[in-house]
Chains A and B, each alone.
Chain A
Amino acid sequence: DVKVTQSSRYLVKRTGEKVFLECVQDMDHENMFWYRQDPGLGLRLIYFSYDVKMKEKGDIPEGYSVSREKKERFSLILESASTNQTSMYLCASTMGAATYEQYFGPGTRLTVT
């Protein structure tokens, strides 16, 4: 079974803090994605990566950065957390270029106070 894990299920941080969210997949997938999910807005793509050290901006990259130093690990970084980044963050992975289903991690519910 494909497994995608995320470092925390729940996280509470203060405004201005630097926040790291980690995602690890165990199926040697090339592509990894970070989404945020908000009520009424669905899943919105923040960043994705199609190879180690390769990344592309999604639809809402402002305030975020990413790192992919190893194939199995994709990190999302909030450089200076703000209250409008309070959200559910979902990581996903897939093989191939959008030709297969995505496998999702359990999500991290981040609250910024």
Chain B
Amino acid sequence: EDKVVQSPLSLVVHEGDTVTLNCSYEVTNFRSLLWYKQEKKAPTFLFMLTSSGIEKKSGRLSSILDKKELFSILNITATQTGDSAVYLCAVTNSGTYKYIFGTGTRLKVLA
């Protein structure tokens, strides 16, 4: 059965800290891994990774995929209170239209 596990479940940090969120997966015929940020509304897309070892970066956020060890990390440097959200990881496989989501990591950044 395809599965996505995120850790930690929740995290509290102070502004300026750096955080690393983890996503491990088991999926047949892996196609891609996606990261989303969800505040009190719709999840918004952050990154899609398909190739191992290539870092995707957007401002203070970056992510990398390790297809051999079946995991991805999302790094946020110099955190701000606006980074407080649930971060979701999802994977897709080549055989279906489905996106398999993890349960998310809830990040709270204190001023």
Interface residues of A, Cβ cutoff 8 Å to B: 4, 31, 33, 35, 40-45, 48, 50, 56, 58, 90, 97-107
CB atoms of B41 and A98 under 8 A apart: no
Q: When A42-B88, A42-B104, A90-B42 are in contact, do A101 and B34 touch as well, CB less than 8 Å?
A: yes
A50 contacts across to B, CB distance below 8 A: 97
Q: Are B103 and A41 in contact (CB under 8 A)?
A: yes
Partner of A106, one of B34, B41, B99: B41
Contacts of A58 in B (CB 8 A): 98
B35-90 with Cβ < 8 A to chain A: 36, 41-45, 48, 88, 90
- Determine the chain B residues whose CB is within 8 A of the CB of A41 once the complex forms: 103
Q: Flag if A56 contacts B103 (CB, 8 Å).
A: no
Which residue of the partner chain, among B32, B43, B103, B104, contacts A98 with CB atoms under 8 Å?
B32
A35 partner residues in chain B, CB cutoff 8 A:
101
How far apart are A40's CB and chain B's nearest CB, in angstroms? 6
In the complex, which of the residues A45, A99, A106 contacts B98, with contact meaning CB atoms closer than 8 Å? A45
Chain A residues with Cβ below 8 Å from B97 are 31, 48, 50, 56, 97-98
Residues of chain A within 8 A of B24, CB atoms compared: none
What are 19 A-B pairs with beta-carbon distances under 8 A?
A31-B97, A41-B103, A42-B101, A42-B103, A43-B90, A43-B101, A45-B98, A45-B99, A90-B43, A97-B97, A98-B97, A98-B99, A99-B32, A101-B34, A101-B48, A102-B34, A104-B44, A105-B42, A107-B42
Contact B31 A99 (CB under 8 A): yes
Q: Which residue of B lies closest to A58 (CB)?
A: B98
CB closest residue in chain A, given B46:
A101
Contacts of B92 in A (CB 8 A): 98-99
A11–chain B nearest beta-carbon distance, Å = 16
List the B residue with the shortest CB-CB distance to A39: B103
In the assembled complex, the CB of B25 is this many whole angstroms from the nearest CB of chain A, namely: 13
Contact A107 B32 (CB under 8 A): no
